[in-house]
Each structure stands twice: as structure tokens, then as C-alpha cells.
A = this chain, B = another copy of it.
Amino acid sequence: MMTKPVGLSRDEIEIFLAQEFPQIFVHGKIWEILDCAPKTATMRMAYHESQLRPGGTISGPAMMTLGDLALYVALLATIGHVPLAVTTSFNVNFLRKPGPRPLIGECRLLKVGRRLAMGEVALRSEGETELVAHITGTYAIP
């Protein structure tokens, strides 16, 4: 690898996601990149009733989708467009039931190697300090 990889900007990532992953916007544009830079990304997932569970809480899979996306956006912001990067492992601890409100996912990559990237995502309800879930994930880089 002769040249240093160059991460994508927030705008470039928004365009890329809209082109390549239109299906994540099937319920409207509920995902938003609040911020990203090499090794970090902050995402917001608007509240949408398709994600609700009985009791008004947000479903586990909706939270996992936000975590997966935050990891991917942080990776794009670090090493740029890597078409075949794939999640290899994903681990979630659910800590509190989030209320029916937007969720914020803050991702921090802890390693970006040539073959493997690994990061963690803290999920919180918007405006809260306590975590609703903690996620770790690894990506294989081809």
C-alpha cells in the first residue's frame, strides 16, 4: 500500500450511502450523520414507529442497525471508499430501554489496520448522558 488512504468527508459519505444503500432510507431519511472525521462518527436515528416494541421502546435490531451504520461511516471517514469491507463480528450489550425518541450513536475506531478495523459505539437517547447500549464491531478490509 504505497499511498495513505484518504477518508471521505461527511457530504461524500451522505451521497455514497444514498446511492449504494437506498434501502436504509426506506422509511424516509431517518439516519443523519451529525459529525465524522478519521476514526470517529456520530449518527442520529430519528424516531420512527416501525422501530417500536410494546411499551414504547425502540427495537434491538433498530439499535444494532444504527451501530452497524456508525461503524461503517467512521470507516469511510478514515480509509475512504472500500467496496468490499465487511463486518466480521458484532457484539451488543443492551443496558437500558430507550424511550420513543431519537437515538445518537457515537462511534470511535480503536484500531484501523491493513486487514482489520475495530471500533465501539455508544448509543444514547438524544439529550441523555446514560448509555442505552454499547456495541463493538470488527470489519475485514480486503
Contact = CB atoms under 8 A, between A and B. Distances in A.
Contact of A134 (B49, B52, B53, B110): B110
Contact of A89 (B51, B94, B120): B94
Interface string A100-140: 00000000001101011010101000000011001010101
Nearest to A90: B92
Interface string A60-75: 1100110010000000
A97 B91 contact: no
A20 interface: yes
Contact of A94 (B26, B86, B95): B86
Given A23-B52, A54-B20, A111 B96 contact: yes
Contacts of A49: 23
A9 interface: no
Q: Top 3 A-B pairs ranked by shortest CB distance? A: A61-B65, A23-B50, A95-B111
